[in-house]
Amino acid sequence: MNQLFNISGKRGIITGATGVISQTICHYLASEGVHLILIGRDDSKLANLKAELMRYPVEISTYCCDVTKEAQVKTTFETIAQQVGAVDFLINAAGGNMPQGIVEGNFFDASMPGFAEVMQLNLMGSVYPCKYFGLCASAERTKKTSCIINFSSVSAYRPLTKVAAYAAAKAAVHNFTQWLAVNLQKDNPGMYRVNTVVPGFLLTHQNRRLLTHEDGSLTERGQKVMAHIPFGRFAQPDELTGAIHFLLSDAASYVNGAAIVIDGGLLAYAGI
Ligand SMILES: NC(=O)c1ccc[n+]([C@@H]2O[C@H](COP(=O)([O-])OP(=O)(O)OC[C@H]3O[C@@H](n4cnc5c(N)ncnc54)[C@H](OP(=O)(O)O)[C@@H]3O)[C@@H](O)[C@H]2O)c1
C-alpha cells in the first residue's frame, strides 16, 4: 500500500463508539489494522462491539465514561495513559440532539435545561476529551504526530428549525476545533492536527423519528430536508470513513483546522 495513506498500526480513542456512525468507523479502522480504545456509556454495548471487532488482528480495549462529566473523562484518560500508553489519535464522535433540546413554537417558552444539556453533550463532551488527550497523546509521550477529529454538522453552518441548541453547539465545536488547531502548535509546532468532519443527513437514532414515519416514508420535515440534498438521498455511515482515513493518514500531514463536509451537496445548494 502507498505509505501516504497507510494507517495500519496506529492506535486511537473513539468516543461515542457504540453509536451508529462510530460503529461503522470502528469496523473500517480495525479492518485497516488500527488498534482502538472504545469509549461509551454502556458496558454491555461496548462488550458487544469489542466482540465484533475481535475478528480483526488488532488490540481493542473499552472504557465506560460519560463525556459530559469532566472528572470521569480525566480519570478515564489517566487510566488509558497508564494501561495503554501513547495514543496517536482521538475521534470525538459522542454527540447528538435530544428531544428535550428541541425548540418547538415560541423560543420564549423553550426549556433551558434541555438546551443546556444538548450544549453540554456536543460542546463540552468534545472539549473535555481534547483537554485530557494530552495525558496519552503520542505528541507528548513519543514526539510523534497526534491527530484529533471532532464531529460538527451542517446545522452549524445553516441553523435548522427546531434544533437551536444542537446547531449552536455544533457551530461552537467547529470554532473550538479551529482555535485548538492553532493553539496546540505553541508548544509542539506541527505535532498536532485538529480537524472537523461535517456530516450531512444520515438516518440514525437521533433523527429517524424526525425524518421518517414508521413505514419508512418521509415526514414533512424529511421531505423538506430531501428537497435540499442534490444527491436525492441520505448519507450512509460508511460514506464518512474515507474522510476519517484521510485525516488520520500522512496524506493529511498539512491539514490543520479544516472542516471536511460530507453532505451530498446540501450546503452548496441555494435551493434554486
Ligand atoms: N446522524 C446524523 O445525521 C448526523 C449528522 C451530523 C452529525 N452527526 C454527529 O455524528 C456523531 C455520531 O452521531 P450518530 O448519528 O452516530 O449518533 P448515535 O448513534 O446517537 O451515537 C451517538 C453516540 O454518542 C454517545 N453518547 C451520547 N451521550 C453520551 C455521553 N454523555 N457520554 C458518552 N457518550 C455519549 C451515545 O452513547 P450510547 O450508545 O450509550 O447511546 C452514542 O454512542 C454525533 O456527534 C452527531 O451529532 C450526526
In tens digits, what is the pLDDT along the chain, a chain of 272 residues?
579 999 999 999 999 999 999 999 999 999 999 999 999 999 999 999 999 999 999 999 999 999 999 999 999 999 999 999 999 999 999 999 999 999 999 999 999 999 999 999 999 999 999 999 999 999 998 989 999 999 999 999 999 999 999 999 999 999 999 999 999 998 889 999 999 999 999 998 878 888 999 999 999 999 999 999 999 999 999 999 999 999 999 999 999 999 999 999 999 999 99
Domain membership of residue 269 (yes or no) is no
225 and 94 within one domain: no
Domain membership of residue 271 (yes or no) is no
Task: Count structural domains, the chain.
Answer: 2
Domain membership of residue 97 (yes or no) is yes
155 and 37 within one domain: yes
> 59 — phi, psi (to 5°)?
-90, 135
215 and 175 within one domain: no
CA 234 to chain centroid, in Å, comes to 18
* Claim: this prediction has a pTM higher than 0.85: yes
| Residue 96, ligand 1, Cβ within 6 A | yes
246 and 211 within one domain: no
Of 13, 15, 20, 262, the one to substitute when testing ligand 1's pocket (max ligand atoms within 8 A of C-beta) is: 20
Contacts of 254 (CB under 8 A, 6+ apart): none
| Residue 41, ligand 1, Cβ within 6 A | yes
Domain membership of residue 118 (yes or no) is yes
211 and 145 within one domain: no
CA 94–ligand 1 middle distance (angstroms): 5
Closest alpha carbon to 39 in 19, 9, 11: 19
77 and 16 within one domain: yes
Q: CB 227: neighbour CB atoms within 10 A? A: 11
Domain membership of residue 195 (yes or no) is yes
Question: Which pLDDT tens digit goes with each residue over 205-264?
Answer: 878 888 999 999 999 999 999 999 999 999 999 999 999 999 999 999 999 999 999 999
> Is 166 a catalytic site residue?
yes
Q: Whose CA is nearest to atom 15 of ligand 1?
A: 204
**CATH number of the domain enclosing 25:** 3.40.50.720
252 and 139 within one domain: yes
Domain membership of residue 272 (yes or no) is no
C-alpha cell at 5: 495513506
Parent domain of 100? 3-200+237-262
Residues 56, 132, 166, 192: which is the catalytic one? 166
CA 101 to chain centroid, in Å, comes to 19
Domain membership of residue 267 (yes or no) is no
Contacts of 126 (CB under 8 A, 6+ apart): 67, 92, 94, 95, 150, 151, 173, 176
Do 153 and 170 meet the contact criterion of CB atoms below 8 Å apart?
yes
CA angle 96, 81, 23 (to 5 degrees): 35
253 and 148 within one domain: yes
33 and 123 within one domain: yes
225 and 149 within one domain: no
85 and 150 within one domain: yes
87 and 180 within one domain: yes
Domain membership of residue 270 (yes or no) is no
